[in-house]
Chain A
Amino acid sequence: MITTYLNRRLTPILLALLLLLPFTALAEDAPATPAETVCLQCHAGQPGHLGAPVGLWRDSVHAANGISCHDCHGGDPTDFAMAMSPERGFIGVPQADAIPAFCGRCHIGVQEDYLASKHGQALGKGGPQCVTCHGNHAVQLASLDLINDKDCTRCHTYERAAEIREALAATDARIASLDTELDRLHRTGITVKALKGEIFSQRNSFHRLFHSVDVNRVRAETAGVQANLDKVAAKIDTIHSDLSQRKLWGGVAIALLLVAGVLFILLRRTLPPHEQ
């Protein structure tokens, strides 16, 4: 009797636990990852200029590409005690004159062109360095918008800068357009990593020209970049052609299924009523 009683009481509970299993999928927002670097864990909670870089960085092109604090500032991102130890390669904040070398550890080509340009030659004499135009922690993907009347006229007149901007505009717009197209393809599940890499490379080569601030060189080297972009565009066209074919055959298959469904209904109507 007791067993029967317990069975009656326990069965719903056990069933409830069993049926609950799929619904454990539903929690609130995701928990904070414990794997965040110690730099972020510590600085994110700090007020003022010590915490502000974290928020700025999160929306940056660096964050989007997995470049974190320690990639630029050095140190140990896994150890709270040694995170800012020079022994672990901590650099900290560079002096203004040292910024091109600081950024140039990764952006090697840009640094070369910058140092050879009028801008670079004025380094330490009031001339601009990387963060003057790009900002620091909130750094965004470089675009032509960085060459504008308001920013350039902080140091000199805008005429020459406007001339360079005009020479760069068409190719830069094409790079941006191809990049957007690749993003659209990626959204449909197509792997575009290699093509994105090619665009990334072309953008970098092309943006190196920005730093030369030499309009003749920009005009001379644009053709090479355009030729490489043509190759990417041709591959995108091939993918689009494949996708169109898929849709065509998919459309045909759907139409056939719908026709089959309607035919089944019509066929059913032609069947004589069943007599016992």
Chain B
Amino acid sequence: MQKLKAIIDWVDVRIGVKELIVANTSGYLVPRNINVWYSLGTVLLTLFALQFVTGILLLMHYIPDSEKAFASVEHIVNEVPFGWLFRSLHAVGSNIIIVALLLHMLSVLFMGSYKKPRELTWLSGFLLFNLGLILCLTGYLLPWSQLSFWATTVATDAAGAVPVIGSKLVELLRGSPSVGPQTLGRFFALHVVVLPLALLALIGVHLFCVRRIGISTAPFGPDARPATVGDSFHHEEHPNGIPFFPHYTIEEGAVVCFFLALLLAVTFFVPELFIPISALEPANPYVTPEHIKPEWYFLWAYQTLKIFPSKLLGLGAQGALMTFLALLPFLDRSPERRPAKRPLFVALYVIGLVLLIAISFWGHYS
């Protein structure tokens, strides 16, 4: 302990690390009425870290070659010590991450935390959500199963609906006229290098924004008032708040534990929940499965494409919705954040959510 203290003192003299630690832990005060929904950021950080660790372990045995990819995944699951665990944690973890991302976004929307001056925090978070979806999509192909092959065929095929450049875009995504070894190569590179680096960078931007501007107060309780935001930078202080550490960190620890328990529950007891039977058969370009359905988080968009008379219209509608969500803080400029004072927003929020769930179910059973 003496040696450790000596090392810390040595570093502290040079870069003032003790001051930094205090400023970001016990000296960092967060709103007193902070609630459980604020923990989802930490939950997501934990889950992303787990994806990195399990991903690296999988990478040690996975072979990104269309002739060997499926067999290498079978080898991981059946031969490599604890390979089944890493693979399941990685596959199930990606789904739990989407759940946490959705909950995080929905809670931020409901509490109006996206509003000025947190537009950049929202935008970086929204891009992170999309990046998470693209990571799932690219990871889907890597096992080179029937599901991987045909889901990617369908996914890349849809890009062909873009006018003028459609066919070029499809070929760019696939690297060849149809899904094949070249597609696997580029999806692999995207999934293990490009996208994780982009994710890390965006997480950095997001956390910087959160820390720089300060955590927003939950818009609940008798003292909740619309914030007055000026035109100059102002870090939102919470002089009557609670310390980030240990008070709020402990609360976050509890939520992280519950999420990890959920992840393990699915991994150990119902791993097949997120792994359809077609994911267990090797890719066969000669046999088209009868019904290819996207993952649950893409079902709403899948069904939307079926509702519209043309694929282009469907894609346009989805693009419009996503753009609207991305730009929401720039459109919704009222400083009011209390849900009770925003009946129109709350009504649209509930209708939108119900619609999203209903269309997803429709897509599942259609």
Contact = CB atoms under 8 A, between A and B. Distances in A.
Looking at chain B's contact residues, is the secondary structure mostly helix, strand, loop, or mixed? helix
A190 B255 CA distance: 32
B288 interface: yes
B288 A30 contact: yes
A268 B134 contact: no
Contact of A35 (B267, B280, B285): B285
B305 A27 contact: yes
Contacts, number: 175
A262 B258 CA distance: 9
Interface stretch (A114-122, A123-131, A140-148, A248-256): A248-256
B28 to A, nearest CB: 11
Interface string B103-140: 00000000000000000000000000010011011000
Contact of A15 (B151, B156, B327): B327
A265 B19 CA distance: 28
A5 interface: no
Interface string B278-291: 00100011111101
Contacts of A18: 130
A27 B286 contact: no
Contacts of A265: 251, 254
B157 interface: yes
A33 B323 contact: no
A26 B158 contact: yes
- Interface residues of chain A: helix, strand, loop or mixed (majority): helix
Interface string A11-47: 0100111111111111111111111110000000000
A123 B166 CA distance: 61
Nearest to A264: B254
Interface size on B, as a range, is 35 or more
Contacts of B327: 12, 15
A160 interface: no
B312 to A, nearest CB: 11
Nearest to A77: B286
B311 to A, nearest CB: 7
A95 interface: no
Contact of A30 (B153, B240, B268): B153
A186 B145 CA distance: 14
Given A19-B319, A191-B74, A258-B258, A30 B150 contact: yes
Nearest to B326: A15
Contacts of A276: 239-240
A257 interface: yes
A22 B257 contact: no
Contact of B130 (A19, A254, A261, A268): A19
A30 B251 contact: no
A187 B272 contact: yes
B268 A25 contact: no
A216 interface: no
A264 B318 CA distance: 42
A49 interface: no
Contacts of B156: 24
B259 to A, nearest CB: 9
B292 interface: yes
Interface string A66-82: 10000000000000000
A15 B254 CA distance: 37
B261 interface: yes
Contacts of A24: 155-156, 158-159, 315
Contact of B323 (A12, A30, A190, A264): A12
Contact of B269 (A16, A20, A30, A247): A247
B130 A22 contact: yes
B294 A25 contact: yes
Contacts of A23: 298, 301, 315, 318-319, 322
Given A16-B323, A31-B157, 7 more contacts: A27-B157, A29-B291, A186-B280, A260-B254, A264-B251, A268-B250, A273-B242
Please provide the 5 A-B residue pairs with the shortest distance between their CB atoms, ordered closest to farther: A250-B268, A261-B257, A26-B302, A16-B319, A264-B254
